[in-house]
Structures are given as structure tokens and as C-alpha cells.
Amino acid sequence: MPDDFLSIISVPPRGEPPPPVSSRKIFGQFVFLILVLLSAGIGALSGLIFVYSSDLPKVRELEDYRPDVMTEIYADDGTPIGSFALEHRVIVSYNQIPPVLRNAVISIEDRHFESHWGVDILRIIRAGVKDVVEWRKAQGASTLTQQLSRMLFLTPDKSYRRKIQEVLLAIQIERYFTKPQIFAMYANQVDLAHGNFGFEAAAQFYFGKHLNQLTLPEAAVLAGVPRSPTAYSPILHPEAARRRRNQVLAAMLDNRKINAREFREASAAPLGLNIQRWSYTVAPYFVEEVRQFLERKYGPETVREKGLRVYTSLNLKMQEAAEENLRKGLREDDKRRGWRGPVKNILKTPLTAPDGMPVTLETYVDDDWKKPLSAGRLVHGLVMEVKPDHALVRFGSLSARVTRPDFAWVRKTQPVAVFVSGDVDLFQIKDVKGTAIRASLDQDPDVQGALLAIDNSTGEIKAMVGGYDWAASKFNRAVQAERQVGSSFKVYVYAQAILDGTSPFDTVADAPVSYHTSTGWWSPHNYDNKYEATITILHALAMSRNVPAVRTLAQVGVDKVIKLCRKFGITSRLVPNLPLALGASDLTLLEHTSAFTTFPNDGVHITPRMVTRVTNYDGRLIDDFAPEVADAIPAPTARIMVSMLREVFNSGTAELGKSFAAQYPVAGKTGTTNEFTDAWFLGFSPSLTCGVYVGFDDHRTLGDKEEGSHVALPIWLDFMGEVLKDRPVEGFPHSPLLTSPEQVKEILASAAPERLLAPRSAGPAAAVVNPPAP
């Protein structure tokens, strides 16, 4: 064995002390060990950062980031009328966020937001200790920046990998963006329950306010929701939301953002919710039709996520008049079929209150009573007691004495024959003075209807009502219901006859006639089962005589009339047979009303449109929808037809509106189908065309003599009267009421020169007519 090796392992003799070890050498070894461990830690950390950052998104992409925003729908005056979104969000800038909300959010979510660099180390250590103690990942320590990184780029699952990525992203976000930019992104992105994202959308939803209108307790409510949107929803869990709000207020007090007095007052305040749901409260049938149009053109994702700005043709004043008058007309028509009884009786069918106690006359509460009572409102009332001369009806804390005149339409003379204690009935409030109420019995109709108004010169749809109540039925009878149009179809038959050279003063036989068909002989008959022998075309249309219309169609030709209808914009299938003259084919109210605009438009048909312009969220134009115009008939033919349709008011089936037509020049046509299943009236002023349809969805009869002039015309008159009363009176300068054939010659000579330069080919004069009597 070598001597040097022995010297290395040799030990000092027993009893001799070991040689001293240098303290500098020990310190050096300790430092070396620390450096080795630190290097290993840094290496491991670098490895983790490399692994977890390798698939992180590029934070700089946030410079071009635009969160999903609502598509907004506007009326013709710029008033918002609806919105579509998967996430209801209204973008705001940092300066639009009031200090009270900023202070509330920062105090409860991230007190050191203004000073940290994306991560709050002390909070992480504190949360880590608690996680170890509780042996679960429970304690949150995320800053606002970390929350933003999670909302934008990561999943919400709790894992250490996700936490490390969240920290790395937060640090990057802080490098590229300022604190105001980060806070604004958070304020526009955060989930606030019930489909609301961002504080502005939530403020509108929960309180009906914009951010700059929020009070301290309201701001605290919103600031408390993000921690758990469902658990702290003021709607689902109001008590939990109140406690959470007070936690926010306490944090603000501790953070010296409010004083003790403000804390006490705000803590004692009620939640004060004023829920404004994102629903079609204005023109719901119209807004839904716009949504379907937009999704067909741009796709559902674009409509619900990209924040289009959609400018429509809807006129709010006309829409309000349309809804009010259609609903009133349907109720009046429904009452003629009698009283159907109470909605319910709380004594015969007992109800249970939320506390489990039975509902009594004194404790019953109706949803209608949550809003203030006002004249004209339809409200459910509770019958408290019935006396020989009246019924006492309660509306919340107020009551009304309902006497015989208030239920005369029921055709009962005694209150006891109509009312029973405990009944819940529908009433219309007539007057409210202090604690005194006047109310009359009413009922929701089971009949349906629709009303459509179109601007003649542009084709813009100004009002659309597709049914009595959107909440009860989403089926839009203005555009979806295809129903027989009855005698209102005759206008197209006579338009073809005039086009072929017939004069309104030519005559046609109103006498029995039969036609051979593939199923046998068919004999049309008149509404009154009478015949008037020889009558003028003018009179035949005004009085809506059926047999002359069929004779005229047989002479001019079914195919020619169908081709003419196509020029008028009618696209529905038209059965090529003689009953077509009586409206035996199905049309929609939209295409029928649009076709009628051709007459006051001097023979020009303009395709109806709801949307005039679409822009993106920033206002850049995407589409501008110009009118689609096409010549349908020559101007002289259209003007003669206007004159003939004016006679419908003057001496025909719409004579109920004769005094109205004397004040406002109008023209139109009634329509009634077999068995009185459908009632129509379509008419126009020089600038506006309106169509009204009434009928049951299941094609039941409306009742004997319930024809268009009795059911649909009154609705039309009420609507047009409300619309035209504030407009200058317009006239039909080239379409007078006809009294002699000479007027027809003048109308034919009144055509605009440019229309005369492009004459249309006309068929031979209709042989169906005879020369007028001398």
C-alpha cells in the first residue's frame, strides 16, 4: 500500500487533539452549498416557466382584442328597441367607470392593485399557507390582473399548472398595459350573472341605470357579484347578495374609501333592484323578424357576438298606435262572443303562500299590482264581496265598486250573475283619483290578429304587430300566417281588367252563372245571395259583388292575373282557378299589404324592408339597404284603381268610414272568407298603407256577420286616425271620386311623361264588359 495513502487515512495518536479546521473553509463550503441549491432552484423554476409558458397566448394580441358585445337594434329615430347576445355586454372606457365603483371593486378584490406588478406575493403566501392547513386549493389570492388573464385566456379550473400560467400572463399583461387599461378590460369582461358581462350591462340589468348613476350601495352590490356570480346573484339569493354587499362596504371602510357614516347608511339600504330584462319589450314581433333576417344574412355568431348596430324602419309612435288599437279591437270583437268566466277563483281552488299558509282574500297578491295603477291599464282584480248593486274588487291596497254599466257587455243585469267572491277577473282601469278607482270588466281574447303599416314611398315597414300578446304566442301572424284573403283579392282582378282597357263605368252582369271544373259544375254566389242584374265595374268592386268578380276573372284570364300578382310582389302559391277571384288562395299579411302600396305609388312596387342600415360596433358601414323598386302597372291604371278603391269608402263595404274618408282621403278594400273565418281590411292614404287581419289560429268561425267591415275595418280606422291626425292632410290629385267616364279620360291623360315614354304592351280590351249605358 502506498505511503501517501496511509498518510491520508492515518489518525493522530490517542490523546492528541485534532488539528484545527479553518472557519473560512466552513463558510465557503456553506456558501457553495447555497449556490448549488439556488442554481438548482433557478434551473427548476426556469424549467417550469419554460414548460408552462410554451403554450401561453401572446398578450400583445390584447391590443386588438374586442370582447363579444350585443347587437343593438334601433328605431327610425335612433331609439334602442332590442338587442341580441350570448353575453350581454356594453363596452365602457376607464373614464366612464365612476370612482365609487372602482373603489368598491379594488377594495374587495385587489387592494394593492395600483402598486403591484400583476402578482400580490403576500396574498399568495397567505393563501398558500391556508391551502396547506386545509389540505385543499381553496383560498383565492388572484389579483385583478390575474383574474383578467384567467377570463381571457385560461380555464377556471383550480390547478397549480393553471395558477402558474395565470401568474405569468398577469406579469406580461402588466408589462404591456397601464393600470387604467387593465381595469377597463376587467370591468368589461367580468361575469355578473344572468348573461350580463361587464359592469355597464349589469348596472342596466339590475338597476336600470348607467354606471355614472350608481349609488354607493348599488356599486357595492355589483362589486360583490364577481366572486361567485350565482351565489351572490341579487335575484336568486338576495340575502346572500346583501351580506356580500356589506362585506364590500366594510372593505371600502377599512381601505378608507368611505367614512363610517357612509358605511352605516349604505349597509342599511335595501338592495333596490329595478330589473330590466334583455327582452323585446318594444315591438317584439318586429324585433324577432329583424333577428331572423340578420342571422340569415350574417350568421348567428356575428349577430350574437360581434355587436352589430342595426338601424330599422320602425316608427315608435306608429308601433304604439298599432299595438294599442289591435289589442283594443280584438278585445271588442271577442266580447261579442260572450263572457267566458273568471280567470280563477282562489277560494274554490285554494292557493298556498310561500310560507306554506293558505292564501285568503286578504293575503292574495297579484303580479299586476306591482306596478302603479293608471287609466287604460288591464289589471287582474280580486272580487272581495258581491252586493245586489255592485261587486267590490280589490287591486292591491285599492278597491273599486263595479256596477252594472261596468259589465254591461256580458248581457247580465245583476252582479251576482257575473261575480263570485274569490274570483280573479281582468279589468280595465278607467280612472284613478287618490284611493278611488273606476274599473270595467274585461277579458283576454282568444281570437288573434295582425297589423302592418308600410310607407308607400320607401317600402319601409313602420309598424308590425303579429298577435295579441307576444308573451302568450311568438307566432307572427303578420309574416308567418298564410290565410285566405277573401274579397280583398278582387283588386288584382280588376287591375288586370283596367290594364286590358276596361273602364270603371263599363258594365258586367251580376246574374247566376256556372262553370265546369274538373270536379263538376261550380256556381259562385254573392254574399247576400241576391243579384243586381247589370252593374258597373266601379259598383261591383265597391260593393264587393262576387259573381261579377268571377266573371271578370274568367274573361281576362287566370294566368294573366297571377302574373300581375307576381309584379305586385306576391310570392305565395296562387291556385290557377276561378275561385281565386274570391281570395281562395292563401297570402300573408305582409305580401298583401305590400302589394296594395303599388296603387298609391303610381304603379311602382317597392319591396318591403325592415332594416335600412347595418354598421359594426364602431360605426363602420357594413350594409346600406336601398329600396328595391320595380314597375308593376302603368301610372294611369294605378290612379284609376285608387279612384275605384276610394268608392269603397264612399258607397261600398267600408261606408262605416265614410266620414273619416271625407276628412282624410283614403282608399281600401274589405275581405271576408267563407264561414266568416278570416276578416281583412287593407287600405291606404297617399303616404301610408295599412293592412289588418283578424281570425282564429284554428280556423274557427268568427261568428255570423263578422265580416271585414265589422271586425278589421274599425281597427284600421282607429290606427290610421291616430297616425294621420298630426299630419298635413294629403290628397289624391289624380284619383278623384268617379262620377263620369270623362274623369277616366282625364286620369288616363295625367300620366307622367316618363311613364308614357315606356308604354307597356296591353292585351285586347276585356270582352267581359258591355259599353256603359248612354
Catalytic residue check, 457: no
State the catalytic residue, choosing from 72, 109, 174, 288: 109
Buried b (16+ CB within 10 A) or exposed e, 637-668: bbbbbbbbbbbbbbebbbbebeebbeebbbbb
Rounded CA gap, 595 and 568, in Å? Answer: 5
In contact, 66 and 157? CB cutoff 8 Å: no
Q: 444, exposed or middle or buried, with CB in 10 Å at 0-12, 13-18, 19+? A: middle
Rounded CA gap, 668 and 607, in Å? Answer: 20
Question: What are the helix and strand counts (H, E) for the chain?
Answer: 24, 24
How are beta strands 436-442 and 398-402 bridged, if at all?
parallel
Buried b (16+ CB within 10 A) or exposed e, 672-681: bbeebbbbbb
Residues listed for the chain = 774
Residues 6+ apart with CB under 8 A from 403: 389, 390, 415
Q: What residue type is assigned to position 731 of the chain?
A: G
Q: Strands (DSSP E) along 560-717, which ranges?
A: 586-587, 604-606, 611-615, 621-624, 629-631, 667-672, 678-684, 688-695
How many CB atoms within 10 Å of residue 56? 14
State the catalytic residue, choosing from 313, 487, 594, 735: 487
Q: Which residue has the cell 280556423?
A: 699
- The three grid cell numbers given for residue 133, joined into one nine-digit string: 392547513
In contact, 687 and 668? CB cutoff 8 Å: no
* Strand, helix or coil for residue 599: coil
* Strand, helix or coil for residue 514: coil
Rounded CA gap, 556 and 637, in Å? Answer: 15
Rounded CA gap, 530 and 479, in Å? Answer: 36
198: left (phi over 0), alpha (psi -120 to 50) or beta: left
Catalytic residue check, 265: no
Terminal Cα-to-Cα distance of the chain (whole angstroms): 156
Residues with catalytic function: 109, 487
